[in-house]
Structure 1
């Protein structure tokens, strides 16, 4: 399948999940993430807030655990019209507004770090990036919504950055039109398995 076909299939698959199935899958994903990824190693963690109407992995319990039980600084992003992201510290007690795609994000652009500045600021730190996706394949290729935000963000990542996808669905067969410009994952956590690529 190509990216377009896979996006269509994965979107339909996710939307067909019942509320009970989604809750069970999220619980399995969280359990594997915290038991199999050495999160304590990372002083900077970049995460995403979910588009819950699209049944993305629910990262709110993950973020709450990170803030409660780990010493890392946690960041989230804001999408700009030019296709870039700005990055801000996550505040658990703050209400975030939904953007046009339904992503909760900071309303302001003030004091946000550009992607290049984010990785340059923390270039000496071990960084964990939890990456959103629609689907992924068995080779570690990530399929997003097609806007390229995370590919542009991750092009600045340092050798000390671990890129971990979160998916309620398992891997698909290798996609036909993967590009060298696509940033591959190091790991992907699903409710039943940890996928790893070198």
Structure 2
């Protein structure tokens, strides 16, 4: 079993995946879907077991690694998700971006609930509400929808990743659709804990990869901005 996977796996599909069954999944979309569900369940459970102090230490290390990226230093418009209590915390990333004078955009579901929009925020001290899927979003009076055209740095959530930038999200496909709408030269950066990193995660042609992966112990460049593996 790969050293980077530090979770207890209970089901046959999880065991099969880690023992090499993943190499047969590319031609079987049903197996890909089932394996993603199993991985999501395992990672969510592992994430919920983290203590507050351990999370704080990991979150600080992740933010510091991200701040050291040349791509972040050069960026002018940062699109960053608003984290839930179980995800890598992004408030520090957002506050530092604002302090540096960067424009900060956060995701907001469109009225149809199918696509992400970008809402500009002036600070983290505005009012937020809990939207669909339990995700924070700016309160209606603070929403300032802007086009994607100026985005040059994206911080994206997820449940599992691999060294090639492949990503397993929560199953809605929102970020896959979002990535298809922004230019290819925009830096896509995933933040996660070490235990969310797999040697390989199942993926299909519909899944959009990230370029960089930041954890508490490493900063990986998975692909160049054209999408080519590095």
| TM-score with structure 2 setting the length | 0.75
Q: Distance in 1 between matches of 2:107 and 2:69?
A: 25
Q: Could you say what secondary structure the match of 2:134 adopts? A: coil
Per-residue deviation, 1:37: 4.2
Q: How does 1:108-123 map to 2 (within 5 A)?
A: 108=140, 111-113=144-146, 118-119=147-148, 121-122=149-150
Partner in structure 2 of residue 79 of structure 1: 109
Per-residue deviation, 1:89: 0.7
Q: Distance in 1 between matches of 2:155 and 2:218?
A: 16
**CA contact 2:71–2:153 (8 Å) conserved in 1:** no
Q: Could you say what secondary structure the match of 1:38 adopts? A: helix
Q: Which runs of 5+ in 2 are unaligned?
A: 1-16, 18-34, 224-230
Q: Radius of gyration: which is bigger?
A: 2
Partner in structure 1 of residue 161 of structure 2: 136
Would you tell me which structure has more helix in proportion to its own residues?
2
Q: Distance in 1 between matches of 2:145 and 2:69?
A: 31
Residue 64 in structure 1 maps to residue 125 in structure 2 = no
Per-residue deviation, 1:40: 2.3
Q: Distance in 1 between matches of 2:132 and 2:182?
A: 27
**CA contact 2:194–2:217 (8 Å) conserved in 1:** no
Residue 149 in structure 1 maps to residue 182 in structure 2 = no
Q: Could you say what secondary structure the match of 1:57 adopts? A: coil
Q: Distance in 1 between matches of 2:40 and 2:49?
A: 14
Per-residue deviation, 1:169: 3.1
Moved over 6 A (4+): none
Q: Which runs of 5+ in 1 are unaligned?
A: none
Residue 90 in structure 1 maps to residue 115 in structure 2 = no
1:109-145, Cα deviation, whole Å (9 max, x unpaired): 96524xxxx33x32xxx60000111121222111110
Per-residue deviation, 1:196: 1.2
Partner in structure 1 of residue 8 of structure 2: none
Match of 1:190 among 189, 207, 215: 215
Partner in structure 2 of residue 107 of structure 1: 139
1:94-115, Cα deviation, whole Å (9 max, x unpaired): 01101132211023396524xx
RMSD (Å) for aligned C-alpha atoms: 1.8
